Amino acid sequence: MASRADPGDTGGRRDWRDVARDAADLALLGILLTLAAVPLLTAAAAAGTASAAVHDWTRTGSWPSARTNVRRFGRAVLPGVPVSLLALAGAALLAAD
């Protein structure tokens, strides 16, 4: 499988199928991010995990393994709780205004 980081021998041009595949991968990542953020306390952890996955994808051209993503998500849940609560408080203040 060709790496996203290596344009290959096509002179840097990508086929429309490559673009469609990348768009589908990013759409799937967005759907998974939304599902993981449904319980509000995991929203920050889900966003951080998705951000790290996109970073890996842009650097290496391949997505990290599921085990790596689950480990990142697990490590980010507890530190992300205060951020999620702060965002909830901010949203409540805006709604009250």
Mean pLDDT by 10 residues, the chain (97 residues): 54 85 92 84 87 94 93 90 85 89
Task: Round to whole Å and give the CA distance between 14 and 71.
Answer: 33
pLDDT at 50: 93
pLDDT at 1: 44
**40: nearest Cα among 2, 3, 82:** 82
pLDDT at 67: 96
pLDDT at 70: 93
